[in-house]
Structure 1
Amino acid sequence: MSSTGYATFDTTLAKTNGVLKQIEESYGWPKERRNRSYAALRAVLHALRDRLTVEEAAQLSAQLPMLIRGIYFEGWDPTKVPVKMHLDDFLARIHDEFPFEIPDSPERLLGITVQALRRHITEGEWKDIRASLPEDVVAVLP
């Protein structure tokens, strides 16, 4: 890993690369497909962010590595959330934002991506997020 010369940046870069690598390994994508793992992360983060209340979205963001937090907030308009989405709408949102063919299903893309993020989210916060989502969405989360 290249060093930025600033420990905080090096740490967030390493954590972000770890999440992307976990997504790639789960799908069997080579590192050369990093753009796919990034797109999966971005699509899932944005769907979650827009389904949560402003308060819950902010609480989740506080636990994300700094670089992932930037991806999470990219393009966010807190005056337009929460967007009421049940499972079909939630998965369609992920599918629409993922610019590649999904290898199997949006449910699996969601599950793999959330699983890669889980090591950065406390159990208490994860319970709060799950409590904020519709039951049909929670049913497909890891």
Structure 2
Amino acid sequence: MRDRLPIDAAVHFGAQLPTLIRGVYYEGWDPHPTPVKFDRQEYLNRFCYETSLAEENAEKAVRAVTGALFLHMPPEQLGHVFNALPHGLRSLITPAV
């Protein structure tokens, strides 16, 4: 998600994360080509690659990660971040209600 957000939204979101998670979030990040343009399927493919998950588990895992964020971060903050994403990607990462 970080690489798909505009730089200011990615940094603002990262600042809200707990210290340990923030380190993982920023590890290896090069903000110069941000935001990287990719669609829903490309996002899932990249998620699978970076997490070593099988493709059939990707969408469920993405929703679980996002659900955990909703438990630990203010919904207004997440709403601001998610609104900066394209609709197709936003519908993937927003937990089912």
Q: Which runs of 4+ in 1 moved over 3 A?
A: none
**Greater Rg by CA:** 1
Amino acid paired to 1:64: L
Tell me the C-alpha RMSD between the 2 structures. 1.4
Structure 2 residue 55 is matched with structure 1 residue 123: no
Which residue of structure 2 lines up, in the alignment, with residue 136 of structure 1?
88
How many angstroms does 1:119 deviate by? 2.4
Give deviations 1:84-107, integer Å, cap 9, x for gaps. Answer: 1110111111011112435x4311
Q: CA deviation at 1:57?
A: 0.6
- Give the 5 Å matches for 1:87-98: 87-98=40-51
Between 1 and 2, higher relative CO (CA 8 Å, sep ≥ 6) is seen in 2
TM-score, structure 1 as length reference: 0.61
Partner of residue 77 from structure 1, selected from 30, 47, 58: 30
The answer for the alignment partner of 1:111 in structure 2 is 63
Instruction: State the partner residue of 1:36.
Output: none
TM-score (norm: length of structure 2):
0.87
Alpha-carbon distance in 2 for matches of 1:100, 1:136:
21
